[in-house]
Amino acid sequence: MKDAIVKILVGELDYSDYVASLTADDLLSLHPKLQPALRAWLDNRSITNIEVEGISVKLLVEQRGYTFPSALISMDWLLTEPEIAKAELTNEVRK
């Protein structure tokens, strides 16, 4: 599974091999609530808009330029460390 994710990240999103490998590891350990969105994206590149702590995937992708995988990783951070993640991501979004 990791190899398939790396191939997508490198081939379609221009990630370097190294960053793609790290990102794939993060994606494979996402919070269970985020797994269906990851699966849908892997299957057909559909982007599921998820909102956590007032921050949405749509905001991160459309306004901040995140790739969908990096937005999912940010959502995972919001689910696992909401206070720290929200402070950092809110600050970033306001810049």
pTM of the model: 0.91
pLDDT value at position 90? 83
Can you list the residues of the chain whose pLDDT is less than 50?
95
- Express each pLDDT in 24-43 by its tens digit: 999 999 999 999 999 999 99
Distance CA 85, CA 69 (A): 16
